[in-house]
Amino acid sequence: MSIRISATLEARMVDGEGRIVCVSCSHPLGPTDQPWKPAATLNELPMKGAGGEVYTAGDDVLLRQFNCPSCGKVLDTETALRGDPFLIDEVDVSALSDS
């Protein structure tokens, strides 16, 4: 059994344990009860100028891309100030262990 938690991630039972995995390549990103973003490859890009001259945010506003360390697919993005902690989504996947 698996539960799709986003367009790029799903919770899946692996060896009797709930794991977050990349949908594209099944690379494991950690247990379902822990944040997965620290297991991803992080790419931080300055937002200043990202949309041309229209976007003139300060140099500390970043676009963070979280990529699969195996296949490289972008798993999620967020905007943040430099040094901010990752935004952590909490998704109820308790139905995974009920099956």
At 51, the amino acid letter reads G
User: Quick one: 21 or 93, whose CB is closer to Zn ion?
Assistant: 21
Q: For residues 49 and 72, which CB has a smaller minimum distance to Zn ion in the complex? A: 72
Nearest to Zn ion of 68, 93 (CB atom): 68
> Residue 67 CB, nearest distance to Zn ion (Å)?
8
Q: Give me the residues that bind Zn ion (CB under 5 A), please.
A: 22, 24-25, 27, 68, 70-71
Cα separation, 79 vs 76, in Å, equals: 11
Q: How far is 84 from 58, CA to CA, in rounded Å? A: 15
Rounded to whole angstroms, the Cα distance separating 2 from 12 reads: 4
